[in-house]
A = this chain, B = another copy of it.
Amino acid sequence: MRSLLVEDEPRIAADVAAALANAGFLVDTAVDGEDAWFRGDTEDYDLVVLDLGLPHMDGLTVLKRWRAAGRVMPVLLLTARGTWAERVEGIDAGADDYLPKPFRMEELVARARALVRRAAGHGAPVIEAGRLRLDARQMRVTADGVPVPLSPLEYRLVAYLMHHKGRVVPAPELLEHLYGDDDAREANALEAVVTRLRRKLGAAAIETRRGFGYLIADGAP
């Protein structure tokens, strides 16, 4: 497994590199956006760990350029604390997962492994659950193979639930991930979105655990 680590802070870079190496990855390191972009564009990596705050070229820009150029390797974003907007933007830009700083090395490694596994299984990062199928790269959801047109908000909701399929996601957590803490919405806003989604995906797609939250069941893989 070949990985590219993009991180300008030397201490963190060293730690992460060591952890990845320990997990069996070969690790290349880039310390600025220019370098990262060049390597990612010319080399073939199984995984990229990408810090967002970078000199010369912002991590998001790097990511977008890669994706625009058709590079499809899995990318794990390292985001600063609480910058919720960044995360969303990162996912939208084609990241496969993100990890907020500070994080534990074990978690980083676990997610890295998961990403590689997922990428190995399919050509693209696709999550399946029951009749649903989510293609993160194309930002498209299909039900029984039929593409379902979703609004941005609807897509983010399904995407989040499918990323956590098989787990009950509490409404406040969903609200936070959809809107961030800053601008609070009525809980009802979420319910409205769910209603609209169910109309498109089928009523059974999203289960309600009254008093707890919502859930997309892990349709036996």
Q: Is A221 an interface residue when CB atoms closer than 8 A count as contact?
A: no
The A96-130 residues at the B interface (CB cut-off 8 A) are 100, 102, 104-106
Known: A172-B18, A172-B19. A212 touches B166 (CB 8 A): no
A24 interface residue per 8 A CB criterion = yes
Interface residues on A, range: 20 to 34
Does A2 count as interface, using CB distance less than 8 angstroms? no
Of B138, B170, B176, which one neighbours A168 at CB under 8 angstroms?
A: B138
Contact B19–A170 (Cβ < 8 Å)? yes
A183 to chain B, nearest CB (A): 16
Give 11 new A-B contacts, CB below 8 A, not counting A24-B212, A137-B166, A152-B211. A18-B172, A19-B170, A22-B170, A22-B171, A22-B172, A81-B102, A105-B176, A137-B167, A138-B168, A138-B215, A138-B217
In the assembled complex, the Cα of A194 lies from the Cα of B199 at a distance in Å of 31
Docked CA distance A54–B72 (Å): 46
Do residues B106 and A173 form an inter-chain contact, with CB atoms below 8 A?
yes
Q: Is the CB of B106 within 8 A of A139?
A: no
Known: A102-B100, A104-B100. A212 touches B139 (CB 8 A): yes
In the complex, A185 has a CB within 8 A of chain B: no
The one of B19, B23, B137, B213 in contact with A22, judged by C-beta atoms closer than 8 angstroms, is B213
**A210 interface residue per 8 A CB criterion:** yes
A61 within 8 A of B: no
B102 A173 Cβ-Cβ under 8 A: no
Contact A168 B82 (CB under 8 A): no
User: Does A151 belong to the interface (CB within 8 Å)?
Assistant: yes
- Residues from chain B with a CB closer than 8 A to the CB of A210 are 151-152
Q: A131 near B: Cβ within 8 Å?
A: no
CA distance A44 to B105 in the complex (A): 34
Give CA–CA (A60, B119) in the complex, Å: 42
Confirm or deny: A198 has a beta carbon within 8 angstroms of a beta carbon on chain B.
Answer: no
